[in-house]
Structure 1
Amino acid sequence: MTRTEKVAAVEVLKEKFSNTEFFYLTDASALSVEKINSLRTQLFEKGIEMQVVKNTLARKAMEALPNASSYEGLFDALKGPTAILFTSVANAPARVIKEFRGKAERPFIKAAYIDTAIYHGDDQIQVLADLKSKEELLGDLLGLLQSPIQTVMGGLLSGGNNIMGLLKALEEREG
């Protein structure tokens, strides 16, 4: 790789890191070509981009960003073969990896960057897979906000029936 190509690669990575709130550093080095292609297909279907990178270029790209200090915790994970998974949904890569590998050891998660939080190690896969997406959190919030309104409306509607029933009973009593 020439110096010009390295500079261009660092610029591309800087752009991706600055435009992505969530990314995973993974190792899929021991997989066969067939399995790698299958993994890439599954990731692509979920809107996740997989890019194999040189660790030094990834580190230089992170160090060149204005908020470089927030990435320092990832530098230890930039050893050995590394593939970066860029995503717009925080838990999607963990779910795909967990489903893909089943009982196998690869691919494994070296680290994950989730909106300034850093998760280290493959033992965090369940925590990462259980994270709720923005859409799921909004749905939960709407459900919580909707519940009291439905209770009040139900009470008002049933209260109207009770009043009508009482009036009818009083009317029948007088008659």
Structure 2
Amino acid sequence: MTREEKSQVIENLTAQLAENTIIYLADISGLDAGDTSKLRRACFKAGVSLNVVKNTLLAKAMESSEKDFGELTGTLKGNTSLMVSDTGNAPAKVIKEFRKKSERPILKGAFIEEAIFVGDDKLTTLSEIKSKEEVIGDIIGLLQSPAKNVISALKSGGSTIAGIVKTLSEKEG
């Protein structure tokens, strides 16, 4: 690879790191061609971009990025694949599902909305992170609940009051 090609790859990686807030690093070494193809299909279905990268080029891209990747640069040893997604837990779910049939991929680390997770032991935690849409749905549900209770109380209270007034008016007459 020439210097120009390397600098172009670094520029592309830097742009990819700048454009995305959900970045996972995984080790997929040891997967044969068939399993790698299955993993790529699973990633595609989940909306996850999977690219095998050279550690030195990714490290340079991380350094030139405006984001602070902290301890993640220390995980750049051996085989590294870059997984990028719009949903925080999608890559973790793909890895977890794929690991039911295989020992790989192994999670090296993740950068999610400026939070850094290092190590394969964080996989379960990352797979349980709610997506932005799920959190918004939960918040809307919580906000609607008190309003529904008030409306329900007013409706039932209104019929009770109407019943009492009707009964009282009938007794007086």
- TM-score of the superposed pair, with normalisation by structure 1: 0.96
Residues of 1 paired with 2:119 and 2:158: CA distance?
A: 59
The count of residues paired between Structure 1 and Structure 2 equals 173
Task: Give 3-state SS (helix, strand or coil) of 1:89's partner.
Answer: coil
Query: Could you tell me which residue of structure 1 aligns to residue 21 of structure 2?
Result: 21
Percent sequence identity is 46
Contact 2:72 2:109 in 1 (8 A): yes
* Aligned mates of 1:159, 1:146 — CA distance in 2: 20
1:116 aligns with 2:114: yes
Alignment correspondent of 1:79: 77
Contact 2:99 2:105 in 1 (8 A): yes
2:7 alignment partner in structure 1: 7
> How far 1:100 moved relative to its partner?
1.3
Deviation at residue 104 of structure 1 after TM alignment: 3.1
Alignment of 1:1-175 (within 5 A): 1-67=1-67, 70-102=68-100, 104-175=102-173
Contact 2:43 2:94 in 1 (8 A): yes
Secondary structure in 1 aligned to 2:56?
helix
Mapped partners of 1:127, 1:52: distance in 2: 24
Q: Given residue 109 of structure 1, which amino acid in structure 2 is its aligned partner?
A: L
Q: CA RMSD in A?
A: 1.0
Give the whole-Å Cα distance in 2 for the aligned partners of 1:66 and 1:120: 20
TM-score by length of 2: 0.97
3-state SS of 1:131 partner: coil
1:66 is displaced (CA, Å) by: 2.5
For structure 2, the 5+ residue unaligned runs are none
SS in 2 for 1:66: coil
Other structure's SS at 1:31 match: coil
Extract structure 1 runs of 4+ deviating beyond 6 A: none
2:168, 2:57 → 1: CA distance? 85
